[in-house]
Every structure is written in C-alpha cells, then in structure tokens.
Amino acid sequence: MASQEMEELVSREYTQGFVTDIESDTVPPGLDESTIAFISNKKGEPEWMLEWRLEAYRQWLTMTTPSWAHLDYPPIDYQAISYYSAPKKDEDRPQSLDEVDPKLLETYEKLGIPLHERAALAGVAVDAVFDSVSVTTTFKDKLAEAGVIFCSISEAIREYPELVRQYLGSVVPQGDNYFAALNSAVFTDGSFVYVPEGVECPMELSTYFRINAANTGQFERTLIVCDKRAQVSYLEGCTAPQRDENQLHAAVVELVALEDANIKYSTVQNWYPGDENGKGGIYNFVTKRGDCRGDRSKISWTQVETGSAITWKYPSCMLRGKDSVGEFYSVAVTNGRQQADTGTKMIHIGEGTRSTIISKGIAAGRSDQAYRGLVKVGPRAKNARNFTQCDSLLIGDRCGAHTFPYQEIGNNSATVEHEATTSKIGEDQLFYCQARGISEEDAVNMIVNGFCKDVFQELPMEFAVEAEALLNVTLEGAVG
C-alpha cells in the first residue's frame, strides 16, 4: 500500500469522529482497515509491516471464534474495543503508594514483592519510582555487551527490520487461529529478543521485565530468536495481581531455536480473575508456540497460571530438528468462578525428538478447568518419545477438572506414555497435618505445594518461592 493511501485511511479515521479534545492518541472503539493503518502509522512501521497486518485482518474476517474449548463466556463484541491507546500519562497515575488500593498492597506484602517494585506494579508514575530507571540501564548495558538484542517489538520493527521480517509469523502464521489473526492485525506491544550465535544470555530476562510489565498491553506480540548454540531464559508476567481495564487479552508468543539452541520460557500469570462471581475478570486467549528448528535444539515452557476469569492457552513445541527436545511444565490453579482450558501440543516432526509434559491442575471453589494436550508424531519422526503426566487436585465438591489427551501417532517406532490422576485433596491428608497442630489453611498450602513440586522446581529460583506464595494467596479461604 502506498503511503499516500495510508495517510488517507488515517485521516478518514479522523473525519469519522475522532475526538481530538479527549486524548489525541486514542482511537475510538471499532476495527477496520483504517484502524490498523492508524496503529501502524503511530508505530512508525515500514510498509511491509502494514501489509502483513492487513493480510492478517482479512483472514480474521473469514474466521470464527473457536467453540471447542471447555469454556463458557458471552460473545465478545470486537467493535466495542479500542485498539490503540497511548500509555497513560504520568499525571493520570497514582503519584505514590498512598493513592493505591490498600488491598492490592496487602497482597504484594504477602507475596514478598520488593518494596521498590511494588510501586511500579501498582502503576505509580515512573519518575516517582526510585531506582527502577537506573536498574534498567545497568541491565541494558550488560545485554548490549553480550550482543543480545532485547527491546520492544515496535522498536525491533524499526531498528532490526530484517530479523523481524525473517522470523515474525514464521512460527505462528497470521491465520493460525482466530485470536492469533486478531493479534497479528492489531498488536501494539510486546518484546523482541535475539541471542546471537554461541551466546549464552548473561542474565535471566526476568527482573527487568517484571518492572516493565506493569504496562503490558492487550494484544502483545513476543518474538524470541535463539541462534545456533545460544541460550536464553525468559520470564513473562509476574506474581503480583494485575488489574487491567481491558477485558480481552490475546497475546502471541513465538520462539525460534536454531541448532543446539536452548530457550526456557517461564510464565507466571496472575491477571485479575474477577469478583467472586467472575465479573470484571480478564479473558486471556493466548497463542504460544516454539519452533525447535535446528537439530538438538530445546524449548521448555514452564507456566504457573493462577489468574484471569478465562484462560485459553496451549504453549506448544514444533520439534522439527533432529533430536530436538520440547518440555511443558504447568500448574494451573482456579478458584471462585474461574475457567481454564489449557495444555500443550507437542508436534514430533524430526527423528529422535523427545517431549515431556507435566501438568498439574488444582481446582477449588466453583471453578472449572481442563487439560487439553496433543501429542502428534509424524511419519519421519523415527524413535520419537513422549511422556505425559497430568494430575488434577480438587478442593471441595463444587469444582471440576477434565483431561482431554489427544494422540496422533504416525510412526510405529514412537514411544508415547500417558499417566493421569484425579484426586480430591485428601481429608486424610488434612487430618494428618492438623492432628500435628498445623492449621487447616497451612495444611492445604503444604499439600498443594507438594502436589506442584515437579513443576515449581523448573522455575527460576526466585520465582519458585514467589509462585508458592502466590498459590497460597490464590487458595485463601478455599477450604472451610
């Protein structure tokens, strides 16, 4: 599309009633090609990027929202959403922690979040948060020294267009699914990581991200590329409860691992789950996929999902390289009226590929959750191996847990194992602990954390500790 046309589209948007006296950087609700052009223009993107977005949008128009998941929610009105708004100005945010909801602060306290991070997480104006700026700068220098690129996706599109163009959409194509198509058309935020050949990223890309995660967007797009023999560990999200005015979140995460590369991607998701009736909670529809493109590459997903009213999420691995390895470790906790349909896909394409799936689901209150996993072994994947274990723990008798394992085996040299258990949190276990003087609540926490141990030990150390605390907070009052 010529830039002249684009400008026309943008200006047409203005004539359609764009109200300048509110905030000049926000588009009114609604989605059409001009909205997309507006976003692309705002981000200063090259033309190919706009084309890419529009292609996605046109595919999205022909698609329908998936209905196979074990979820129940009212239809979403995509024309009622505003697809671009500039970051909140500092003067609109709380100026200090004194202005923040004390309940939120109490939770931070329980989770043991460091003081200087609490302000950032609560959305306090950045210049009021001491330290965070200098910390960020130190990290940036260290990464630059190692040659690691770590920046926002928008910056990457401008600064490293060749890399982005080569890899964006190469794992999750624009038309992959309904939510991925929508994301491809309108994404405005997200991160880009490139670790060059032979480089081991000198730090966990976590603390940095955590401080900056307070402003995560509605349609995030993350792309991580690990070149030959490179390594990176990335942590998304944070344990602190995050509130957001946007109900719908549809993120896309793409990981690319070349020969002998190793990517570890950990998520702690704690979006607002809504009130006890599920009102006001976040809908989290995420597409996450890793491509083990090179031989002996490895991608490992670890997730702790405690938030959101609705979670729809299946981090997957395409095991294309010979002897490549995919792993999925998941803890999903639902309480109140939460619904979660989550799991993974392991697609074995290359010879000697291996995958491990460990999924732990904990349902309490009136919540409902499903594990949905696909293990697919293609005809060329000689000697592929998979081990799957999904365990569900029920607390109380008004919740539900379901397991939907799918296997498609196209090669008879493959070894595929599946183990599944569902248990109620044992009254005998509770009684045993209580008869030793441990309170019911502490006993539940102890039993649940024990149940999740196989997954927690995959998390980076500091987050494992926070994840345990998070579980305890999530399940507060679940028993009794």
Partner 1 sequence: MLEVKDLHVTVEGSEILKGLNLTVNPGEVHALMGPNGAGKSTLSAVIAGKDGYEVTSGEVLFEGKNLLEMEIEERALAGILLGFQYPVEIPGVKNIYLLKAALNAQRVARGEEEIPAPEFMKLVREQLSFMKMDGSFLQRAVNEGFSGGEKKRNEILQMLVLQPKLAMLDEIDSGLDIDAMKVVAEGINSLRNADRAILMVTHYQRLLEHIVPDRVHVLVDGRIVKSGDKNLAHELEARGYEWVLEESAA
312, 236, 302: which is closest to 456 by C-alpha?
302
Cβ–Cβ < 8 Å for 43, 154: yes
* 449 interacts with partner 1 by CB under 8 A: yes
Q: Which is nearer to partner 1, 22 or 435 (CB)?
A: 435
Q: Give the Cα separation of 402 and 42 in Å (integer).
A: 44
DSSP letters spanning 220-266: BEEEEEE-TT-EEEEEEE-SS-B--S--EE--EEEEEE-TT-EEEEE
Q: Of the two residues 90 and 442, which places its CB atom closer to partner 1 in the complex?
A: 442
Residue 54 phi/psi, 5° resolution? -65, -35
CA angle 444, 450, 456 (to 5 degrees): 120
Is residue 435 involved in binding partner 1 (CB under 8 A)? yes
Residue 44 neighbours by CB distance under 10 Å: 11
Among 1, 429, 473, 479, binds partner 1 (CB under 8 A): 429
Tell me the window of 30-38, 86-94, 155-163, 443-451 that interacts with partner 1 (CB under 8 A): 443-451
- Residues 145 and 255 sit within 8 Å (Cβ to Cβ): no
The reply on whether position 427 binds partner 1 by CB under 8 A is yes
Q: How far is the CB of 172 from partner 1 (least distance, A)?
A: 34
410, two tokens: 């196209």
Joined tokens for residue 137: 């700068």
Among residue numbers 134 through 153, which ones bind partner 1 (CB under 8 A)?
none
Q: Closer to partner 1 at the Cβ: 59 or 472?
A: 472
Give the residue with the Cβ less far from partner 1, 225 or 447: 447
Per CB under 8 A, the segment of 106-114, 164-172, 322-330, 431-439 that binds partner 1 is 431-439
Q: Are strands 310-313 and 325-334 parallel, antiparallel or unpaired?
A: unpaired
- Nearest approach in angstroms of CB 435 to partner 1 is 5
420 forms part of the interface with partner 1 (CB under 8 A):
no
Stretch that binds partner 1, among 2-10, 44-52, 162-170, 426-434 (CB under 8 A): 426-434
447 is an interface residue for partner 1 by CB under 8 A: yes
Query: How many residues contact partner 1, by CB under 8 A?
Result: 23
Per the structure block, which two tokens stand in for 462?
A: 């500091």
**Closest distance to partner 1 from the beta carbon of 85 (Å):** 44
Residue 453 CB, nearest approach to partner 1 (Å): 4
Asked if residue 477 binds partner 1 (CB under 8 A), the reply is no
**Dihedral sign of CA atoms 103, 107, 108, 110 in order:** positive
Smallest distance, Å, CB 425 to partner 1?
Answer: 11
- Minimum distance from CB of 346 to partner 1 (Å)? 24
Q: Any bridge partners for residue 268, and if so which? A: 237, 304
Give the nearer residue to partner 1 in terms of CB position, either 407 or 449: 449
> Residues 214, 246: contact at Cβ < 8 Å?
no
Stretch that binds partner 1, among 107-115, 269-277, 292-300, 445-453 (CB under 8 A): 445-453
Q: Which stretch binds partner 1 (CB under 8 A): 88-96, 164-172, 205-213, 434-442?
A: 434-442
Shortest Å, Cβ 434 to partner 1: 4
DSSP-derived secondary structure for 94-113: -SSGGGS-HHHHHHHHHHT-
Angle CA 366–312–175, to nearest 5: 160
276 or 442: whose CB is closer to partner 1? 442
Q: Under 8 Å CB-to-CB from 275, ≥6 apart: which residues?
A: 281, 336
Q: What angle do CA 118, 124, 127 make, to 5 degrees?
A: 105
Positive/negative CA dihedral, 232, 272, 87, 25? positive
Smaller CB separation from partner 1, 408 or 440: 440
Query: What CA–CA distance (Å, rounded) separates 320 from 348?
Result: 7
Under 8 Å between Cβ of 352 and 320: no
Minimum distance, C-beta of residue 461 to partner 1, in the bound complex (Å): 17
Q: How far is CA 468 from the centre of its chain?
A: 19
If one asks whether residue 454 binds partner 1 (CB under 8 A), the answer comes out as yes
Exactly one of 105, 128, 149, 446 binds partner 1 (CB under 8 A); which one? Answer: 446
Q: For strands 298-305 and 262-269, give the pairing.
A: parallel
Told to check if 162 binds partner 1 by CB under 8 A, we report: no
Under the criterion CB under 8 A, does residue 433 sit at the interface with partner 1?
yes
> Judged by CB under 8 A, which of 65, 144, 432, 477 binds partner 1?
432
CB of 456 to partner 1, least distance (A): 9
Q: How far is the CB of 442 from partner 1 (least distance, A)?
A: 7
- Residue numbers of the site for partner 1 (CB under 8 A)? 426-429, 431-440, 442, 446-447, 449-454
